[in-house]
Structure 1
Amino acid sequence: MGGLVAAALAAGAGVAAGSTGPDDGRREIARAASDDTTQVVMVRAPEVADRNEVIALGLDVTEHATSRGIEVVIHDAQDAQTLKDAGFTWRVTVDDLEALAAKNRKADEAYAARVEESALPSGRTSYRTYDDYLRDMNRLARLYPTLTKPLTLANPTVLGERIRGLEISVDAPDVRDGKPVFLLMGAHHAREWPSAEHTMEFAFDLLQSYYDRDKDVRNRARRVLQDSRVIVIPVVNVDGFKISRSAAPIGDFSTFDYEMKRKNCSISANTPAQYLGGTCADNPAGRLRGTDLNRNYPGFWGGGGASPTWSSDTYRGDGPGSEPESDAVRQLISERAVTVMISNHTYSNLVLRPPAIAATGKAPDEPALKSLGDAMAAQNAYTSQASYQLYDTSGSTEDWSYWITGGYGYTIEIGDEGFHPAYEEAVVGEYLGEAPANSAGLGGNQEAYWLAAEAAADDSQHSRIRGTAPAGRTITVSKHTVSPTSPVIQPDGSTGDPILYEDTLVTTYATDRGGRFTIDVNPSTRPLVAGRYGRYPEAPPQDTITLVNPPGVPAVGSNESTTFEVQGLPEADNGYAVVSIGWPSDNPQAYDWDFTVLGPDGTPVGSGATLANPEVIRIPDPQPGTYTIVADNYAGGDSAHDWSGSVTFESPDPPIDTGIKESWLVSCTDRRGNVLGTREVVVDRGQVAGVGDVCRRGALKR
Structure 2
Amino acid sequence: MHPPRPRSRRTGRIVFGGALATTLAASLVVPALTTTATGRPQEAPDDRVQIVMVDAPTVDQRNEVLALGLDPTEHATRKGIEVVLYGEKDADRLREAGFSWDVEVRDLEAQMERQRAADEEYAASVDESPLPSGRTSYRTYEEYLSDMEMLADKYPKLTKPVTLENETVLGEKIRGLEITKNADDVKDGKPVFLLLGAHHAREWPSSEHTLEFGFEMLESYTANDQRAVRLMNGLRLIIVPVVNVDGFQISRNADPGDPEDDFDTFDYEMKRKNCSISENTPEQYTVGTCEDNPAGRLRGTDLNRNYPGFWGGGGASTNWSSDTYRGDGPGSEPESDAVRKLISERAVTMMISNHTYSNLVLRPPAIASTGKAPDEPALKELGDSMAAANGYTSQASYQLYDTSGSTEDWSYWITGGYGYTFEIGPDGFHPAYEDAVVGEYIGDTEASGGAGGNRVAYYRAAQTAMDPVHHSQITGKAPRNRTVTVSKTHISPTSPVLQPDGSTGPQRFYEDTLTTDYRTDGGRFTMDVNPSTRPLVVGRYGREPQAPPQDEVTLVNPDGVPAVGEQEETTFEVEGLPDADNGFATVSVEWPSTDAAAYDWDFYVLGPDGEAVGSGATLANPEVIKIPDPVAGTYTLVAENYAGGDADHDWTGEVTFQSPEPPQYSGIKEAWQLTCTNRRGKILGSREVVIDRGETVNVGNACQERKRRR
TM-score after normalising by structure 2: 0.90
State the match for 1:492 in structure 2.
501
Structure 2 counterpart of 1:392: 402
Amino acid at match of 1:524: S
* 8 A Cα contact 1:596 1:629, kept in partner: yes
One-letter amino acid of the counterpart of residue 685, structure 2: G
Counterpart CA distance in 1 for 2:124 and 2:660 is 57
CA drift at 1:64: 2.4
Measure how far apart 1:205 and its partner are: 1.1
Partner of 1:52: 63
Trace 1:111-126 onto structure 2 (pairs within 5 A): 111-126=122-137
- 2-side partners of 1:553 and 1:223: how far apart? 67
> Which of 393, 402, 417 is residue 412 of structure 2 equivalent to?
402
Secondary structure of the equivalent of 1:220? helix
Alpha carbons 1:45, 1:609 under 8 Å: kept:
no
- The Cα of 1:627 is off from its aligned counterpart by 2.1
Deviation at 1:678, TM superposition (A): 0.7
Counterpart position of 1:239: 246
Identity %: 66
> Which deviates more, 587-596 or 338-347?
587-596
Decide whether aligned partners of structure 1 residues 557 and 111 sit closer, same or farther in structure 2, where only a CA change above 3 A counts: farther
CA contact (8 A) 1:355 1:387 kept: yes
Asked if 1 retains the 8 angstrom alpha-carbon contact of 2:562 and 2:641, the reply is no
Q: CA deviation at 1:548?
A: 3.2
2:146 corresponds in structure 1 to 135
Q: Confirm or deny: 8 A CA contact 1:45 1:610 kept in the other structure.
A: no
* Distance in 2, Cα, partners of 1:499 & 1:94: 40
Q: Which amino acid aligns with 1:229?
A: R
Aligned to 1:8: none
Q: Is the 8 A contact 1:574 1:622 kept in 2?
A: yes
2:296 matched residue in structure 1 = 286
Match of 1:149 among 146, 160, 168: 160
Query: SS of the counterpart of 1:572?
Result: coil
Q: Is the 8 A contact 1:679 1:700 kept in 2?
A: no
**Contact 1:563–1:629 (Cα < 8 Å) also in 2:** yes
**Residue in 1 that maps onto 2:470:** 461
C-alpha distance in structure 1 between counterparts of 2:196 and 2:284, whole Å: 35
The answer for the alignment partner of 2:11 in structure 1 is none
- Inter-partner Cα distance in structure 2 for 1:265 and 1:558: 49
Paired AA for residue 288 in structure 2: G
Q: Provide the rounded CA distance (Å) in 2 between the counterparts of 1:289 and 1:18.
A: 18
1:604 Cα deviation from its structure 2 partner: 3.0
How do 1:321-360 and structure 2 match up within 5 A? 321-360=331-370
Q: Which residue of 1 aligns with 2:39?
A: none
Partner of 1:5: none
Pair 1:621-2:629 in alignment: yes
Displacement after TM superposition at 1:83 (Å) = 1.5
Q: Distance in 1 between matches of 2:126 and 2:120?
A: 10
1:165 Cα deviation (Å)? 0.7
- Cα pair 2:616 2:625 within 8 Å, conserved: no
1:545 matched to 2:564:
no
CA distance in 2, matches of 1:701, 1:501: 36
Matched, 1:24 2:32: no
Deviation at 1:388, TM superposition (A): 1.1
**C-alpha contact (below 8 Å) 1:678/1:701 kept by paired residues:** no
**Distance in 2, Cα, partners of 1:634 & 1:202:** 53
Find the residue that maps to 1:62 and give its secondary structure. strand
Q: CA deviation at 1:75?
A: 2.8
Q: Which amino acid aligns with 1:119?
A: P
How far 1:629 sits from its partner (Å)? 1.1
Distance verdict in 2 for CA 1:61–1:285, change over 3 Å: same
Post-superposition CA distance 1:297-330 (Å, at most 9, x none): 1111111111122111111111111111111100
Partner amino acid for 1:227? G
Question: Could you tell me whether the CA contact under 8 Å between 2:596 and 2:619 is conserved in 1?
Answer: no
Where does 1:387-466 land on structure 2 (aligned, <5 Å)? 387-435=397-445, 437-466=446-475
Structure 2 partner of 1:374: 384
Q: Secondary structure at the match of 2:675?
A: strand
Tell me the amino acid that sits aligned with residue 201 of structure 1: E
Tell me, yes or no, if the aligned pair for 2:597 and 2:643 is still in contact at 8 Å: no
Structure 1 residues 592 and 201, CA, compared in 2 at 3 Å: closer, same or farther?
farther
Amino acid at match of 1:319: G
Give the match for residue 40 of structure 2: none
Distance in 2 (CA, whole Å) between partners of 1:126 and 1:21 is 46
Partner of 2:287: 277
Q: CA deviation at 1:465?
A: 0.5
**CA–CA distance in structure 2, aligned partners of residues 426 and 612 of structure 1:** 43
RMSD: 2.6
- The question of whether the paired residues in 2 share the 8 Å contact of 1:33 and 1:257 is answered with no
Which residue of 370, 383, 393 maps to 1:383? Answer: 393
Structure 2: distance between partners of 1:21 and 1:288: 20
> Which secondary structure state, in structure 1, belongs to the residue aligned with residue 351 of structure 2?
strand
CA contact (8 A) 1:667 1:678 kept: yes
The answer to whether structure 1 residue 681 and structure 2 residue 689 are counterparts is: yes
Answering whether residue 657 of structure 2 is matched by residue 652 of structure 1, we say: no
Indicate conservation of the 8 Å contact 1:44/1:69, yes or no: yes
> For 2:501, what is the secondary structure of its paired residue?
coil
Q: How far is 1:60 from its partner?
A: 3.2
- Partner residue of 2:544? 536
Q: CA, structure 1 residues 142+499, in 2 after alignment: closer, same or farther (shift >3 Å)?
A: same
Show the counterpart of 1:13.
Answer: none
Deviations 1:74-115 (A, max 9, x none): 233332222122111111112112111212111211121222
> After alignment, is 474-483 or 422-431 more displaced?
422-431
CA distance in structure 1 between the aligned counterparts of 2:284 and 2:245, rounded to whole angstroms:
26
Match of 2:203 in 1: 192
Instruction: Indicate how the Cα distance of structure 1 residues 603 and 172 shifts in structure 2: closer, same or farther if over 3 A, else same.
Output: farther
**Structure 2, gaps ≥5 residues long:** 1-14, 33-42
TM-fit CA distance, 1:440: 3.2
In the TM superposition, what is the alpha-carbon distance from 1:579 to its structure 2 partner?
2.7
Conserved 8 A contact 1:573-1:651: yes
- Matches of residues 70-89 of structure 1 in structure 2 within 5 Å? 70-89=81-100
1:319 and 2:320 are equivalent in the alignment: no
Q: Quick check: 1:606–1:617 contact (8 Å CA) kept in 2?
A: no
Contact 1:44–1:609 under 8 Å retained in 2 = no
Q: Is the 2:311–2:404 contact (alpha carbons within 8 Å) kept by the matching residues of 1?
A: yes
Alignment of 1:160-179 (within 5 A): 160-179=171-190
Rounded Cα–Cα distance in structure 2 between residues aligned with 1:117 and 1:63: 31
Match for residue 183 of structure 1? 194
SS of equivalent to 2:498:
coil
Letter in 1 for 2:703: C
What is the DSSP-based 3-state SS (H/G/I as helix, E as strand, rest coil) of the residue aligned with 1:470?
strand
Asked whether 1:364 is paired with 2:374, we answer yes
Q: Matched residue of 1:472: which SS?
A: strand
Task: Give the residue type in structure 2 aligned to 1:136.
Answer: D
C-alpha distance after superposition, 1:401-447 (max 9, x if no partner): 01100001111111121211111111111111113x52232221111
1:651: how far off? 1.1
Tell me the distance in 2 between the aligned counterparts of 1:499 and 1:515. 45
Which moves more between the two structures, 514-523 or 61-70?
Answer: 61-70
| C-alpha distance in structure 2 between counterparts of 1:272 and 1:21, whole Å | 14
Correspondence for 1:258 = 268
Separation in structure 2 between the aligned mates of residue 280 and residue 19 of structure 1, nearest angstrom:
26
Structure 1 Cα separation of the partners of residues 644 and 459 of structure 2 = 51
One-letter amino acid of the counterpart of residue 680, structure 1: E
Aligned partner of 2:7 in structure 1 is none
CA spacing shift, 1:626–1:612, aligned 2, 3 Å: farther
Match for residue 220 of structure 1? 227
Shift of residue 41, structure 1, vs aligned partner: 1.6
Provide the secondary structure at the position in 1 that maps to 2:435. helix
Which of 676, 699, 710 is the aligned partner of 1:691?
699
Match of 1:507 in 2: 516
In 1, Cα distance between the equivalents of 2:427 and 2:45? 23
**Helix, strand or coil: the match of 2:62?**
helix
Distance 1:421 1:583, change over 3 A: farther
**Alpha-carbon distance, 1:25 to partner:** 3.7
